[in-house]
């Protein structure tokens, strides 16, 4: 009699022999209770369990893809770096070619249109790139990613003035007669001939001016009053909200290494770092928990490093467990 | 979508061309069942998902040797089982986990009014009865019913004989029939009568389900 349960099981599995089938039919037809029980079991068996919804599977798949990417980075760090730097290399070459094309175009424009004054040239560097520019007076400027430099076509004649949105490192050709002025949203930096770095991104609270060598004076845009004079090794942080400036002695390499494709920081707040990472990798970083923004880090990265390996280092070096969730270009950082 | 020729094609695309789209498709075909299988062992949505992802991470990393796997579906289930057992061992801080250590919980999904052949009371009774069975029996029953696996496949995945599977299923069905007999009321008799006549009419179709 016990075998009937086994036969029902095989029937449900769909693997029943003719002999077993007739035994089953006999059993089913021998009593109403049997009939009832059989059909209830069958109903229960075929009662479809809900499918987990597809969005769960897709979300899980996205997590898997992140793990795969990360595993590839870890597995052969150097190899992957080479591959990713090949990609970066491509972007670099594309940027250089683009730069030469636009530069020759601009020079052509410059030569042919020299007569027309008050016209401006603008050089924009998209997110995730950087660019090197030589101005007509021989001054060199390295523009960091997501930055824009505008200068007049009659540059060099009576005034050397450029406008900067974003970050740039300047090596200004010395010319005592014609001062070089960098205008940012709130302040202007006036120099004769020096090396310095300015970070003036519209979304940042501060404008930072760091002097490597020479001398600069900083003026407010609103009124021509001199805010301050900087000496080499000094960095001025200008608070755009309350128009206040603070000067500190700094290690200038933390401000200029981006030119070499390095990303160096010391006791920097996570929020500020996130802003920089956003610009380098063209991503958006969101903090799920505001207290995470206040954590500070010291370290350095190569800009060529894969963003996942960088995020992973943050994950490991934070005292409490954090995790990051990526959704296309958006990265959410939260406590685990 | 779980048709062996199609799966073979996907497997070929993954191993020979590192085809990510095929990999995603394979993942989406099996995620649901592997996840439920892992969940019945681990009882944690997070770890079940992690276990399934461990399995697929491994598939991707070893994709070039995918062609050596004879039955990819069984391989996926076996890997999910092993991975889930490894997680359990970690939780229990013991080196090995065997089938006897696994606490399987059997659940029938919430019934929607259209499909409510059983009332939720009956559903609870059935769940309770099944959950009184030994873990191995529950797991085998779940794999046959929920994951829709054949005895042979379950045997291969759990590394036990087909006969044992047969015994487990028979035990579960016997238990079910006892509960159902006790629960039979006028109401279910009536529904059953209607259903039975319908079944009779469509008998050939029903047998093909």
How high is the ipTM of this complex? 0.78
Q: Angle, nearest 10°, between helix axes A32-46 and A3-13? A: 40
- Residue at a domain's end among B60, B94, B128: B94
Is residue B177 domain-resident?
A: yes
**Cα–Cα distance for residue pair A236/A217, rounded to 1 Å:** 11
Query: According to the per-residue pLDDT averaged within each range, which of B124-128, B170-174, B180-184, B186-190 is highest?
Result: B170-174
**Cα–Cα distance for residue pair A204/A144, rounded to 1 Å:** 15
B139 shares a domain with B83: no
| CA B118 to mean position of chain CA atoms | 21
Provide the domain count of chain B.
2
Q: Give the torsion sign (CA, B149, B150, B156, B158).
A: positive
Burial readout B63-84 (b: 16 or more C-beta within 10 A, e: otherwise): beebeebeebbbbbbbbbbebb
Of the candidates A123, A188, A182, A184, the residue with the CA atom closest to the CA atom of residue A150: A123
Mutation choice for A interface testing from B122, B180, B198 by most A CBs within 10 A: B180
CB contact under 8 A, A47 and B115: yes
Interface contact B53, partner A, CB < 8 A: yes
Contacts of B28 in chain A (CB under 8 A): 54, 57-58, 61
Structure tokens at A293: 């923004």
φ, ψ at B202 (rounded to 5°): -110, 30
The parent domain of residue B134 ranges over 113-208
Domain ranges of chain A: 3-49, 113-253
Q: Name residues whose C-beta falls within 8 Å of residue B1's C-beta, 6 or more positions apart in sequence.
A: B29
CB contact under 8 A, A49 and B36: yes
* Residue in A closest to B167 by C-alpha: A6
Greater model confidence, B96 or B138: B138
B85 shares a domain with B48: yes
Q: How confident is the model at residue A245 (pLDDT cuts 50, 70, 90)?
A: confident
Is residue B99 domain-resident?
A: no
> What's B56's domain CATH number?
1.10.1740.10
Express each pLDDT in B22-47 by its tens digit: 999 999 999 988 998 898 888 888 88
**Cα–Cα distance for residue pair A99/A199, rounded to 1 Å:** 22
Express each pLDDT in B163-181 by its tens digit: 999 999 999 999 988 888 8
The pLDDT, as a whole number, for residue A57 is 87
B148 shares a domain with B200: yes
φ, ψ at A33 (rounded to 5°): -60, -45
Burial readout A91-122 (b: 16 or more C-beta within 10 A, e: otherwise): ebeebeeebeeebeebeeebeeeeeeeeeebe
Percentage of residues in chain B with pLDDT exceeding 70? 75
Contacts of B145 in chain A (CB under 8 A): 12, 45
Contacts of B31 in chain A (CB under 8 A): 52, 56-57, 60-61
| pLDDT above 80 for A162 | yes
DSSP B100: G
| CA A316 to mean position of chain CA atoms | 19
Q: Are A181 and A188 in contact (CB under 8 A)?
A: yes
The secondary element (H helix, E strand) that includes residue B180 is helix B162-183
The pLDDT, as a whole number, for residue A73 is 63
B22 shares a domain with B89: yes
| pLDDT above 70 for A149 | yes
B204 shares a domain with B117: yes
**Cα–Cα distance for residue pair A125/A214, rounded to 1 Å:** 27
Interface contact B167, partner A, CB < 8 A: yes
Mean pLDDT, all residues of chain B: 79
Express each pLDDT in A164-216 by its tens digit: 999 999 999 888 788 899 999 888 998 878 889 999 988 888 888 999 888 88
Q: Nearest CB to A44: which of B35, B60, B126?
A: B126
From B60's Cα to the closest Cα of chain A, the distance in A is 8
Q: Nearest CB to B57: which of A15, A47, A68?
A: A68
**A245 strand-pairing partners:** A238
Mutation choice for A interface testing from B53, B83, B106 by most A CBs within 10 A: B53
The pLDDT, as a whole number, for residue B114 is 45
Is residue B47 domain-resident?
A: yes
What are the distances in angstroms from CA A126 to CA A95, A143, A307? Answer: 9, 10, 18
The secondary element (H helix, E strand) that includes residue A209 is strand A206-213
> What's B174's domain CATH number?
1.10.10.10
Q: Which CATH class is domain A113-253?
A: mainly beta
| pLDDT above 90 for B151 | yes
Structure tokens at A181: 């002025």
Q: Nearest CB to B57: which of A51, A57, A71?
A: A71
Contacts of B115 in chain A (CB under 8 A): 47-48
The pLDDT, as a whole number, for residue A83 is 46
């Amino acid at each position: 009699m016990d075998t009937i349960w086994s036969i029902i099981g095989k029937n449900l599995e769909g693997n029943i022999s003719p002999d077993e089938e007739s035994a089953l039919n006999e059993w089913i037809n021998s009593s109403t209770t049997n009939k009832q029980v059989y059909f209830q079991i069958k109903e229960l068996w075929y009662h479809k369990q809900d499918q987990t919804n597809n969005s769960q599977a897709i979300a899980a798949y996205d997590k898997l893809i992140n793990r795969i990417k990360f595993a590839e980075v870890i597995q052969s760090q150097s190899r992957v770096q080479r591959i990713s730097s090949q990609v970066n290399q491509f972007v670099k070459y594309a940027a250089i070619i683009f730069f030469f094309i636009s530069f020759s175009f601009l020079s052509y424009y410059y030569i042919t249109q020299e007569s027309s004054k008050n016209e401006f040239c603008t050089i924009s560097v998209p997110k995730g790139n950087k660019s090197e520019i030589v101005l007509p007076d021989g001054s060199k400027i390295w523009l960091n990613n997501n930055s824009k430099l505008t200068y007049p076509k009659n540059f060099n004649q009576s005034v050397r003035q450029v406008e900067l949105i974003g970050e740039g490192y300047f090596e200004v050709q010395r010319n005592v007669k014609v001062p070089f002025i960098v205008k940012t949203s709130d302040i202007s930096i006036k120099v004769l001939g020096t090396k310095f770095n300015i970070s003036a991104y519209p979304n940042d609270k501060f404008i930072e001016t760091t002097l490597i060598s020479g001398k600069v004076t900083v003026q407010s845009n609103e009124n021509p009053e001199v805010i301050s004079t900087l000496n080499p090794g000094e960095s001025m942080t200008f608070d755009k909200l309350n128009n206040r400036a603070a000067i500190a002695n700094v290690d200038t390499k933390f401000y200029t290494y981006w030119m070499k494709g390095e990303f160096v920081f010391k006791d920097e707040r996570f929020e500020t770092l996130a802003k920089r990472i956003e610009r380098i990798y063209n991503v958006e970083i969101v903090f799920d928990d505001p207290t995470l923004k206040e954590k500070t880090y010291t370290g350095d990265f190569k800009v060529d490093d894969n963003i996942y390996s960088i995020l992973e280092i943050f994950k490991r070096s934070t005292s409490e467990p954090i995790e990051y969730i990526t959704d296309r270009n958006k990265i959410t950082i939260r406590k685990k | 979508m779980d048709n062996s020729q199609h799966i073979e094609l996907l497997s070929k695309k993954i191993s020979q061309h590192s085809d990510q789209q095929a990999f995603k498709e394979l993942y989406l075909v099996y995620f649901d069942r592997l996840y439920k299988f892992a969940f019945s062992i681990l009882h944690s949505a997070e770890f079940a998902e992690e276990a399934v992802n461990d399995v697929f991470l491994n598939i991707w990393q070893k994709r070039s040797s995918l062609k050596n796997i004879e039955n990819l579906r069984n391989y996926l289930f076996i890997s999910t089982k092993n991975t889930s057992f490894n997680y359990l061992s970690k939780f229990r801080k013991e080196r090995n986990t065997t089938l006897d250590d696994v606490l399987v919980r059997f659940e029938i999904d919430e019934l929607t009014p259209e499909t409510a052949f059983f009332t939720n009371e009956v559903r609870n009774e059935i769940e309770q009865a099944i959950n009184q069975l030994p873990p191995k029996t529950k797991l085998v029953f779940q794999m046959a019913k929920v994951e829709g696996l054949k005895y042979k496949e379950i045997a291969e995945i759990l590394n036990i004989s087909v006969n044992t599977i047969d015994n487990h299923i028979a035990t579960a069905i016997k238990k079910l029939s006892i509960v159902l007999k006790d629960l039979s009321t006028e109401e279910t008799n009536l529904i059953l009568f209607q259903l039975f006549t319908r079944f009779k009419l469509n008998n050939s179709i029903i047998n093909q389900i």
